[in-house]
Structure formats: C-alpha cells, structure tokens
C-alpha cells in the first residue's frame, strides 16, 4: 500500500518566487468522496491518475499511476467534476527537503499554499521564512473541496 504523509501551510510572503522550477498543473476529480478520491492530473506533458484514501491526520493511502496524456485530457474534459483545479507548482529545496508551493488560478486565485511530504508524521524539518500558518487538518484547503467551495467565495 502506498502512503502519503503531507503537511500543508499557508504562504505568508513572496520570498519563494525567485526559487525553484515552476510547472502548470491541471487536475480534476472522478471522485471527490473523502473515502476514495480519484484524481487525474496533467503536469507539463505527463499525466497520472491518483487514488487516495481518507486522511488520518497528515497520513493517507495513496496510489499513483501514469496514464496516456490523451486519456487524461479526455477525462478532464468529459468525466471529471467541474471546474478543474489549475495551479502553478514550484518545487523548492530547503535544507535537504523539497517544498511544493501551489499558486492557484481561476476561482481559487489568491490562494498560495506550501506542502512538504514526510517519512513520518513526527519527522522534524526546517520551515523557510515564507511559510506561515499550518492548515494540514483544515479541510477547506483540500484540493477536492476547492471545486465546490472555491477560495474566491470564502470572504
């Protein structure tokens, strides 16, 4: 069984912008049920289907499989829940760990979060100075929930 241990934080400054490599992500959900999330994602010229189980703290089951780009495009256009999630992802190395900063587009524009994947929930790590409040357990920030409750409607 695959396992994902991920912590999520708000980004409090633009200090990350001059770092790392960025890529556009487009993703949609065949299922956004918290017990069985099925996501299709296109990142650059590669596509994957990811299946995730329910989160238990910062941990959940995760399985990811490459799929043909043409199939992913069809899923996103014809089968996935709408609207799609679009974001620019920047991967940044900080003190031996990789942070992923997601700057959301569309109805979620203005939302910028940073995520870090860990080996265990109690693993220690250093936070870059642009990392702010932790939102790992706040379900509003789950990508699958941003489809129905976009960031632009929170205010």
Is 52 within 8 Å of 3 (Cβ atoms)? no
Indicate if the alpha-carbon torsion angle 76, 82, 83, 89 is positive or negative.
negative
Helix H or strand E encompassing 146: helix 143-146
Selection from 153, 125, 147, 154 nearest residue 9 by Cα? 125
Measured from the Cβ of residue 87, the count of other Cβ atoms closer than 10 Å reads 23
65 flagged as catalytic: no
Nearest CA-CA partner of 88 in 58, 114, 56: 114
Catalytic residue among 29, 65, 141, 151: 29
Give catalytic residue positions.
29
């Amino acid at each position: 069984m695959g396992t994902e241990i991920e912590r999520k934080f708000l980004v409090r400054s633009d200090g990350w912008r001059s770092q790392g490599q960025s890529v556009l992500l487009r993703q949609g959900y065949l299922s956004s049920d918290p017990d069985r999330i099925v996501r299709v994602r296109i990142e650059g010229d590669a596509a994957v289907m990811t299946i995730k189980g329910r989160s238990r703290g910062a941990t959940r089951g995760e399985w990811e499989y490459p799929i043909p780009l043409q199939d992913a495009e069809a899923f996103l256009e014809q089968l996935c829940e709408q609207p799609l999630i679009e974001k620019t992802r920047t991967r940044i190395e900080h003190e031996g760990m990789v942070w992923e900063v997601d700057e959301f587009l569309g109805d979620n524009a203005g939302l910028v979060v940073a995520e870090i994947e860990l080996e265990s929930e109690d693993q220690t790590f250093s936070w870059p100075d642009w990392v702010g409040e932790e939102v790992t357990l706040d379900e509003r920030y789950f990508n699958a929930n941003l489809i129905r409750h976009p960031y632009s409607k929170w205010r």
